[in-house]
Amino acid sequence: MLDLGWTELLVIGIVALIVVGPKDLPVLFRNVGRFMGKARGMAREFSRAMNEAAEESGVNEATRGFKDATKGFKDATSAKSMGLDSVEDSLRETARWDPDSETAKLARQRAAEAQARRDALRETPGASDAPAPAPAAGAGASDATGPDDAPDDGPAPEERKE
C-alpha cells in the first residue's frame, strides 16, 4: 500500500523515538496499529459493498456473458487455429541453426559459385560496352533530356547586363 522498505521503516522509527521519546513510543505505535486496523476494515467493508451493488445490478452477469462471448473470438483468432503454430515451430528451428551443418556448407558453396559467375560476366569483353536500351515505342524526340535539350533560362551569365 505505502511500499515502505526496511530502511524507511527504520528511519521512521528513529525519528519517532527522538520526537516522541522512549516512554511514549509504545503507546504511539499501539495507536498507529489501531488506526491501520480500522482503515483496513473500512476498505474491506467498502469493497464488500461495491461487490454487493454489482451483484444486485447484474454487472457480474454481464461481465460473465461478455467473457463467454469473447472466448469464441479468442479461440478463433488463436495462433493454432490460424495455422501460425507451424511458423512458430519453424522459427524455433531457425534459432537452432548450426553454421557447420551440411546445409550451411552447401549454401556457402552455392554463394561462391554465384560470385564466380558474376565475376566471369564482368571480365567478359564487351559486356560493359552493351548498347543502351532503345526508347519505348511512342517516345518522341521531345522526350529526350540531353544537355542540348535543356530549357532556355535566358542569356548565359557572360551575356547578362547589369
Q: Provide the residue-wise pLDDT of the chain in tens; the chain has 162 residues.
A: 567 788 998 898 889 889 888 888 889 889 989 999 999 999 999 999 988 888 887 777 777 887 877 777 777 777 666 677 777 777 777 767 677 788 888 889 999 999 999 999 988 766 554 555 555 555 444 444 544 555 555 555 555 554
C-alpha cell at 63: 461481465
C-alpha–C-alpha distance, residues 77 and 79, integer Å = 7
Same domain, 70 and 98: no
**63 lies in the same domain as 117:** no
Which of 41, 76, 111 is the last residue in one of the domains? Answer: 76
Alpha carbons 70 and 64: distance in angstroms, whole number: 10
pLDDT computed for residue 144 by the predictor: 47
Same domain, 66 and 89: no
Question: How many angstroms separate the CA atoms of 160 and 79, rounded?
Answer: 73
Who contacts 12 (Cβ-Cβ below 8 Å, separation ≥6)?
4
Domain with 21 in it: 6-76
Q: What local confidence, expressed as pLDDT, does residue 1 receive?
A: 53
Q: How far apart are CA 56 and CA 46, in angstroms?
A: 15
Describe the crossing of helices 6-20 and 25-57 by its angle, rounded to 10 degrees: 130
41 and 91, same structural domain?
A: no
Instruction: Tell me, yes or no, whether 72 and 28 share the same domain.
Output: yes
For residues 14 and 68, state if they share a domain.
yes
Candidates 30, 45, 39, 31; CA nearest to 2 is 39
CA distances from 101 to 88, 89, 92 (A): 22, 19, 17
